[in-house]
Amino acid sequence: MSNIDIEKCRITRYPADVLANPAEPIEDIDDNIRRLVEKMTDIMLENKGIGLAGPQVGVGLRIFIISLDATKQGIKVFINPTVTPTTNELDSIEEGCLSVPDVHTKIRRYKRCKVTATDLEGNEFTEEAEGLYARALQHEYDHIGGMTIADRMGSAARIAHRKQLKKLKKNYKKT
């Protein structure tokens, strides 16, 4: 999938198939992947997000970006990442998602985790994370695994947000 049509990249909304399926690993970090990261950065910042995964822009690849301060300078790229919890402690904090607009719900996530990924230069790195960084990593990692907050929310939240989820499904057009 090295020929990505960058111009077609835009926020993909729930319940799009690309959001529901596990993403494919990236074989080569080439100029197309670099352009994808630039496009993802622009889309994320325009939409005031702090993280964005490939499937969220219609590209089923194992890549995501995070910028906790929502700036271009703060962007960190994660290619073919693995995210694993480093604690059993969980917390439940309200999250939103660019692909599931107008839905904010409490999601249970591990307080701390570890990420191992490759950067745009092809270097593998490992980092420990906690707080918002750990939450963002787990959220974006869900996306490349085929999950959204709509899949993670509890039954009470699903009932509370049923009208918006139904509206998103109704307005979704398969391409």
Q: Say if residues 95 and 132 touch (Cβ distance below 8 Å).
A: no
1 occurs within a structural domain: no
Q: What is the pTM of this model?
A: 0.95
Q: Is 127 helix (H, G, I), strand (E, B) or coil?
A: strand
126-141 pLDDT per residue, tens: 999 999 999 999 999 9
Among 27, 94, 127, 140, which one carries the catalytic annotation? 140
Q: Is 31 helix (H, G, I), strand (E, B) or coil?
A: helix
52-81 pLDDT per residue, tens: 999 999 999 999 999 999 999 999 999 999
45 occurs within a structural domain: yes
pLDDT at 174 over 70: no
**DSSP strand E in the chain: where?**
51-53, 63-66, 76-85, 90-95, 105-110, 112-118, 124-130
pLDDT at 1 over 70: no
CA distance 147 to 104: 16
- Beta-bridged to residue 115, according to DSSP, are 83, 127
16 occurs within a structural domain: yes
Q: What is the CATH number of the domain that holds 119?
A: 3.90.45.10
46 occurs within a structural domain: yes
CA distance 113 to 86: 5
CA distance 65 to 37: 8
pLDDT at 99 over 60: yes
Q: Say if residues 90 and 110 touch (Cβ distance below 8 Å).
A: yes
111-127 pLDDT per residue, tens: 999 999 999 999 999 99
Residue type, 56: Q
Helix, strand, coil % over all residues of the chain, rounded to 5: 35, 25, 40
* Predicted pLDDT of residue 54: 98
| Chain centre distance of CA 20 | 12
Name the residue with higher pLDDT: 86 or 7.
86
pLDDT at 105 over 80: yes
Q: Say if residues 49 and 132 touch (Cβ distance below 8 Å).
A: no
* Predicted pLDDT of residue 172: 83
Tracing tokens 């198939």 back to the chain, one arrives at: 17
pLDDT at 175 over 60: no
- Is-catalytic flag, 140? yes
Structural domain of 90: 6-170
175 occurs within a structural domain: no
- In total, how many domains does the chain have? 1
